[in-house]
Structure 1
């Protein structure tokens, strides 16, 4: 037996929430923002590993001497995804898609490299953090790859070509 009620006349009626579509730009910017939060927090939490802070105070990060070159490379590695947040919202669609595909593709092996030299004791920490980073990058790749296209008919294409030729003259 199905009970039907008129929602407009029911004082305690359940109102469904609107679920408007989210633009590809907003999805990409949100994914890059999430990636950045995770990326930075993994680095911050890494300071709690025994010996890390002592190594830094002694001028070593991993096996590298702390130098202006190392810090510049490290800054660049966090600057690129940070810039992707704003670029994802502002670049024209074609450039936006290409930029997201290239940068996310390059950051997958870069993220995986962060596990280099890790011991089995820290495998879950790095596995979880890198796994989520790679999932976010895969979401970025999928979102950029499946960017919706507009469909035009042959007459529109011919008109656009003619306008371009007229403009060049």
Structure 2
């Protein structure tokens, strides 16, 4: 009788696909964290009153700035897969840390931030570090 156990096949995942998946994960954590914030007392009432949290009153310009800032990681999901390797590598090594720093800045009111928020932001920072690490270790191509 054959006692050899079948092995689970390891599939090679290319660097561009890994980066795209990391960016998609990061955006998922952004959405999840924002969603959970809705359950904090006074959050929805503040939004209805026109409050934009630590940014003060809601304005079109502030909403445009946030939309533009979030359009970058959203675009990186696709761009990481289609850009030439050298361009994608450097773009990920620049934009990843920028978003990691912006995530860290949301922890400045650390002692007042809810525990779930600190937890998810910590994961977001780890994901941005993984983006940097993955891009920095991108294998050189022969040719």
TM normalised by structure 2 equals 0.90
Q: Please name the residue that 1:81 is paired with.
A: 73
Q: How big is the alpha-carbon RMSD for the aligned residues of Structure 1 and Structure 2?
A: 1.7
* Correspondence 1:38 to 2:29: yes
Aligned residues: 142
Contact 2:107 2:113 survives alignment (8 Å): no
- In 1, distance between residues paired with 2:126 and 2:110? 20
Deviations 1:101-135 (A, max 9, x none): 0100111110112223354461x222211110011
Structure with higher Rg: it is: 1
Of the three residues 112, 116, 125, the one matched with 2:108 is 116
Deviations 1:41-75 (A, max 9, x none): 11111111111111111111114111111111121
Of the three residues 7, 11, 22, the one matched with 1:16 is 7
- In 2, distance between residues paired with 1:35 and 1:136? 6
* Correspondence 1:97 to 2:89: yes
The list of structure 1 runs, each at least 4 consecutive aligned residues, that deviate by more than 6 angstroms after superposition, is none
Matches of residues 1-169 of structure 1 in structure 2 within 5 Å? 5-6=1-2, 14-63=5-54, 64-117=56-109, 119-120=111-112, 122=114, 124-151=115-142
